[in-house]
Amino acid sequence: MSGAAGEGHRPPDPLRARFAAAAAQHERHRLAACERLDTLFDEGTMMPIAVGAGVITAAGLVGGQRVMAFAQDVTDQGGIATADQAAHIAELLARAQAAQVPVVGLYDSGGLALDEAQAALAGQATILHALANGGRRRVPHLALVFGDAIGAAAFAPAMAHLTFMLERASRLYVSGPDVLRDATGELATAEALGGAMLQATTSGIADRIFANEIELLFAARMAIGLLVRDVAPSVDPATRVAAHLDTLVPADPAEPYDMRELVQAICDDRAWLELQPDRGGGMLCGIARIGGRSIGIMANQPIVAGGVIDRAGIAKATRLAALCATCRLPIVTLVDSPGLMPGAQEEAGGIVAAGAALLATVARADVPVITVVTRRATGPAWLMMAPRGAGGARFAWPTAEIAAMNAAGAARLLLRHGDDAATREKVRDYAASIADPVNAVASGIVDAVIRPADTRGAIALALARHDAQGSGRSLPHPDPQGSGTLKERDRNG
């Protein structure tokens, strides 16, 4: 990575004119397309493939890993998407799929070339088909939207596995303000129709938005490193103990806590790339490393509506699961949820269909799923957050309660048919059975009860055991009875 304007090294010959023409972009406090690519790639590794028709295509290294990228260039014909531009991009996509390397698209264009009519539209169709085919072949596509992606050109970044946008600069929509006004009489600004904040908070197209181009490009480099280099050396011990986790879950079951504390505690160097942080706050999603192994993380967030799962949270998790499937990343789920968001609006909005789509996406991903239940995993929440996956593991903290229905709901159901001594005894037995996670181990739905402080080590061991299965090695399994764990807390405080 060499920084803006290719400082520190001489740009390749085909790009010298583009670097020289970057002044117009600098006056707008923006980078030119060639500078964006130069910043994305490791220093001195960018090799241009095609330069012209409003686009630059190139290959290079990002963190030492081979990557291919294309950048629409507003300094060349306004970056307008012509048939020739589509041909250059399609050629790059074909090369990337053949080599099984990630593709990064840097989008900044005013839309299709209207004077080319069907030819430009056909070119976009070719690109979209190639992107969809690349996803099927497990070739990840990252979209970095620096300016406009309008009309038919909006679909490509929306199809990406990860999409980053710029605050107050990126816009992605099908119909702009003028078209909308002429067609319906409605008045709306471009920002209201497809600004970065809208795509980050409402539509879910933008996985992250950034204040400036350098931050966006650095985040893209981090994401590529996590997605492509699935194992990397780590100086953070895989068995690092986090003693503060022993008291993370409050004694009062109604008191919330911040699940980000657990997420950071299990990640290498306490670092992770959170995705869609401005949408569906009851679900945390992101990518990170544990013991050097890249993983996807989906976690309930108890400080938002008690960890109840809504449609926006499900959509976030489904998108993460699809990303993990493409990049073959194990999924770690951290569970504390009483279930799905109730209400006529959620039901009418399709929360059941959304949940089913998440289950299907994880099942088709064919990657290990490692689950840690910290407190509640009730009914649908358990089914959605704790799928077995391929060679996964399920752990529970001593504070975990896993059941088809919580104790209060079971009591209402049982007592509906009579409030006698025998029924009261059934209620007490049910409450006692779900309050002790050892019963979940005995029933076979949980592999072991673990001490919270040892959560990182338990996950790292499960990941290593999965990797060892592919190599024929064997590693020990955790003690199902939770040897060395904390004792069950008194639910009465």
Exposed e or buried b per residue across 354-375, where buried means at least 16 C-beta atoms within 10 angstroms of its C-beta = bbebbbebbeebebbbbbbbbb
Judged against a pLDDT cut of 80, whether residue 389 lies above it is answered with no
Q: Model confidence at 311, in pLDDT bands (50, 70, 90)?
A: very high
Least confident span in 27-31, 279-283, 293-297, 347-351: 27-31
Q: Are 301 and 284 in contact (CB under 8 A)?
A: yes
**Which ranges constitute the DSSP H helices of 205-350?**
213-228, 260-266, 311-327, 344-348
Task: Identify the CA nearest to 134 among candidates 100, 168, 167, 109.
Answer: 100
Of the two residues 471 and 26, the one the predictor is more confident about is 26
Of the two residues 416 and 55, the one the predictor is more confident about is 55
Query: Domains along the chain?
Result: 4-225 (3.90.226.10), 231-471 (3.90.226.10)
Judged against a pLDDT cut of 70, whether residue 272 lies above it is answered with yes
**DSSP assignments along 126-176, one per residue:** HHHHHHHHHHHTT--EEEEE-SEEEGGGGHHHHTSSEEEEETTT-EEESS-
Q: Model confidence at 478, in pLDDT bands (50, 70, 90)?
A: low
Q: CA 316, 401, 410: angle at the middle one, nearest 5?
A: 100
Structure confidence at residue 420 (pLDDT): 67
Q: Are 127 and 93 in contact (CB under 8 A)?
A: yes
Structure confidence at residue 117 (pLDDT): 72
Structure confidence at residue 430 (pLDDT): 66
Q: Model confidence at 239, in pLDDT bands (50, 70, 90)?
A: very high
Structural Rg of the chain based on CA atoms:
25
Structure confidence at residue 403 (pLDDT): 83
Task: Identify the CA nearest to 274 among candidates 264, 266, 169, 158.
Answer: 264
The DSSP bridge partners found for residue 143 are 105, 163
From residue 341, alpha-carbon distances to 4, 156, 252, 260, 313 in Å are: 47, 32, 22, 21, 10
Q: Model confidence at 9, in pLDDT bands (50, 70, 90)?
A: low
Q: Which amino acid is at 450?
A: I
From residue 312, alpha-carbon distances to 204, 280, 354, 355, 415 in Å are: 8, 5, 9, 11, 35
Task: Scan for tokens 């990797």, then name that residue.
Answer: 467
Exposed e or buried b per residue across 440-457, where buried means at least 16 C-beta atoms within 10 angstroms of its C-beta = bbeeebbbbbbbbbbbbb
Task: Identify the CA nearest to 454 among candidates 240, 235, 218, 305.
Answer: 240
Task: Give the pairing type, strands 55-62 and 47-52.
Answer: antiparallel
Rounded CA gap, 404 and 443, in Å? 13
Judged against a pLDDT cut of 50, whether residue 11 lies above it is answered with yes
- Most confident by average pLDDT, 359-373, 386-400, 470-484: 359-373
Structure confidence at residue 70 (pLDDT): 97
Least confident span in 9-23, 129-143, 413-427, 478-492: 478-492
Q: Model confidence at 80, in pLDDT bands (50, 70, 90)?
A: confident
Of the two residues 486 and 23, the one the predictor is more confident about is 23
Structure confidence at residue 474 (pLDDT): 44
User: For the residues 427-440, what does the mean pLDDT come to?
Assistant: 75
Rounded CA gap, 382 and 314, in Å? 13
Judged against a pLDDT cut of 60, whether residue 476 lies above it is answered with no
Least confident span in 232-236, 407-411, 446-450, 477-481: 477-481
Judged against a pLDDT cut of 60, whether residue 364 lies above it is answered with yes
Q: Are 153 and 112 in contact (CB under 8 A)?
A: yes
- Please count the CA atoms within 13 angstroms of the CA of 35 that sit on its side-chain side: 21
Q: Could you tell me the two tokens for 95?
A: 């090369």
Exposed e or buried b per residue across 328-339, where buried means at least 16 C-beta atoms within 10 angstroms of its C-beta = ebbbbbbbbbbb
Structure confidence at residue 6 (pLDDT): 43
Structure confidence at residue 365 (pLDDT): 85
User: For the residues 54-66, what does the mean pLDDT come to?
Assistant: 95
Q: Model confidence at 18, in pLDDT bands (50, 70, 90)?
A: confident
Q: Could you tell me the two tokens for 164?
A: 């980053």
User: For the residues 467-477, what does the mean pLDDT come to?
Assistant: 57
pLDDT digits (tens, 9 = 90+) for 176-205: 899 889 999 999 999 999 999 999 999 999
Of the two residues 16 and 407, the one the predictor is more confident about is 16
Judged against a pLDDT cut of 60, whether residue 477 lies above it is answered with no
Structure confidence at residue 300 (pLDDT): 97
Structure confidence at residue 112 (pLDDT): 81
Judged against a pLDDT cut of 70, whether residue 376 lies above it is answered with yes
Structure confidence at residue 490 (pLDDT): 35
Judged against a pLDDT cut of 50, whether residue 361 lies above it is answered with yes
Judged against a pLDDT cut of 80, whether residue 224 lies above it is answered with yes
Q: Model confidence at 289, in pLDDT bands (50, 70, 90)?
A: very high
Least confident span in 16-25, 326-335, 483-492: 483-492
Q: Are 461 and 478 in contact (CB under 8 A)?
A: yes
Structure confidence at residue 104 (pLDDT): 98
Q: Model confidence at 28, in pLDDT bands (50, 70, 90)?
A: confident
Per the prediction, the chain carries an average pLDDT of: 87
What share of the chain has pLDDT > 90, as a percent?
Answer: 62
Least confident span in 372-386, 427-441, 475-489: 475-489
